[in-house]
Structure 1
């Protein structure tokens, strides 16, 4: 199966979900035009509170549509933009790619910076949904939300995060559904994606 862009979304206001649109425009070192998370410095509210001068490693949120299939099998219905993603993909193992992987999305290119750390807002969106996007490597329940990525406690918990990956824009361009996704791996040795 060829990896493709299934949907694109954006929202100019900080909300949990984003609105599906016909296309999005990516700008190098900035992010998605018209999206609340665009910027060279961190835009996610929790990270701004900690340090507003951090570089923005979360300009573009990519999520695999196969997660929606998994959620449906567990009784949850999700649609494009529901989990706040900018780019919904199909046919690519986003979570298995190494840090620094380049993804060609039409003329645009993004560089993967890390995993999205699922937060308790997911359960606010649909009660119980957190268990779809977050599991513990040892199989214990995830009823209790994971510690913040800024907490030293996070190193003690082996979690499997399935809420997508984050990226920065290396080359701008328009991205629309149906476009193929080209993958360029970074030089070895590869480093796994970690929460950002």
Structure 2
């Protein structure tokens, strides 16, 4: 199964929407250079499907890539079907799924606008096994499904 990267986004502070970028530099065992969520932990890169963003649009929200604080917005790949431990390739970058969903300790602006948010249920997090550059329109593919 392959998909495409719709957008790449970063932010310098946690807890805010990310800004789309023309490309991002991804460092092994670290994450996206210049992004607040990079570092030595299990959520170095976040992914969210465009299809999830479209669900929120259908609820009447004016939302776009990066608005849910995701680094990589994807299309055409079923992120929620990937078990923890699965590996993805985006060009030279290899990501390993480390977490599906997350607990939001505080409600974000999206939650207050819509009464719901997709990131806690549909956001995917990964560590970086191999670095490189990721751009919009790059192909994302499953390298290995975890058992």
Residues of 1 paired with 2:63 and 2:144: CA distance?
A: 30
Question: What do residues 14-59 of structure 1 show as CA deviations (whole Å, max 9, x unaligned)?
Answer: 232111000001100011100111111xxxxxxxxxxxxxxx1000
Between structure 1 and structure 2, the one with the greater Rg is 1
- Please tell me whether residue 161 in structure 1 is matched to residue 146 in structure 2: no
- Please tell me whether residue 114 in structure 1 is matched to residue 99 in structure 2: yes
TM-score scaled to structure 1, two decimals?
A: 0.69
- RMSD, aligned CA: 2.0
Structure 2, unpaired ranges of 5+: none
Q: 3-state DSSP class of the match of 2:43?
A: coil
- Please tell me whether residue 184 in structure 1 is matched to residue 108 in structure 2: no
Q: State whether residues 24 and 176 of structure 1, in contact with CA within 8 Å, keep that contact through their aligned partners in structure 2.
A: yes
Cα 1:102–1:130 shift into 2, 3 Å: farther
1:88 corresponds to which residue? Answer: 73
Structure 1, unpaired ranges of 5+: 41-55, 135-159, 191-196
2:17 corresponds to which residue? Answer: 17
Q: 3-state DSSP class of the match of 1:161?
A: helix
Q: State whether residues 102 and 186 of structure 1, in contact with CA within 8 Å, keep that contact through their aligned partners in structure 2.
A: yes
- The aligned length equals 146
Q: 3-state DSSP class of the match of 1:131?
A: coil
Residues of 2 paired with 1:96 and 1:186: CA distance?
A: 9
2:3 corresponds to which residue? Answer: 3
Higher strand share: 2
Q: 3-state DSSP class of the match of 1:35?
A: coil
Matches within 5 A, 1:1-196: 2-40=2-40, 56-119=41-104, 120-122=106-108, 124-133=109-118, 161-162=121-122, 164-187=123-146, 190=147
Cα 1:82–1:118 shift into 2, 3 Å: farther
Cα 1:165–1:131 shift into 2, 3 Å: same
Cα 1:14–1:3 shift into 2, 3 Å: same
CA displacement at 1:128 relative to structure 2: 4.5
Moved over 3 A (4+): none
Residues of 1 paired with 2:70 and 2:131: CA distance?
A: 18
